[in-house]
């Protein structure tokens, strides 16, 4: 009977040891599952944060691109305006030059007419003198 009791005691101890090992393994597995879940949640959170940061960066880049396009368009408009003003300025300079030529031509024509008038006045004076001399000779 002692052997049977001893054997039963050993078996019971072995069974209790196995139960303890299983319980420990079970709680370690539960802890590992919990850690894995936390890691997954943290990973999901950080992925969401990364996605949000990426979306923000993309919208900032798009905003910068839109501003660049707008500035480029404004530069194009101001360049076109500058070209129009330059062309207008050249036109005004040309008009001014043309008017100066016209004024010079008119001045030359006027001087020519003044000379012609002076010559006619001299001829008239000479004719009057000749007429007066002819009258006094008669």
- Return the pLDDT at 41: 86
- Return the pLDDT at 48: 86
- Return the pLDDT at 122: 92
- Return the pLDDT at 98: 93
Residue written as token pair 């000479």: 126
- Return the pLDDT at 104: 92
34 is written with which tokens?
């919990």
Q: How many CA atoms lie within 13 A of 73 on its CB side?
A: 6
Q: Using alpha carbons, list the distances in angstroms from residue 28 to 8, 15, 25, 38, 55.
A: 29, 20, 5, 15, 40
- Return the pLDDT at 109: 92
In a structure prediction context, what are the per-residue pLDDT tens digits for the chain, which is 138 residues long? 888 888 888 888 888 888 998 899 899 999 988 998 888 888 888 888 889 988 998 899 898 899 988 988 888 888 888 899 999 999 999 999 999 999 999 999 999 999 989 999 999 899 899 998 988 887
CA–CA gap between residue 85 and residue 91 (Å, rounded): 10
State pTM to two decimals: 0.38
């Amino acid at each position: 009977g002692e052997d049977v009791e001893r054997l039963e005691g050993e078996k019971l101890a072995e069974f209790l040891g196995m139960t303890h090992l299983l319980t420990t393994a079970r709680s370690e597995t539960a802890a590992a599952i919990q850690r894995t879940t936390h890691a997954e949640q943290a990973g999901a959170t950080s992925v969401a944060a990364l996605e949000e940061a990426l979306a923000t960066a993309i919208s900032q880049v798009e905003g910068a691109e839109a501003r660049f396009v707008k500035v480029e368009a404004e530069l194009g408009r101001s360049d076109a305006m500058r070209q129009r003003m330059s062309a207008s300025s050249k036109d005004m300079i040309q008009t001014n030059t043309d008017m100066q030529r016209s004024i010079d031509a008119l001045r030359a024509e006027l001087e020519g007419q003044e000379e012609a008038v002076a010559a006619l006045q001299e001829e008239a004076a000479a004719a009057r003198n000749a007429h007066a001399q002819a009258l006094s000779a008669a």
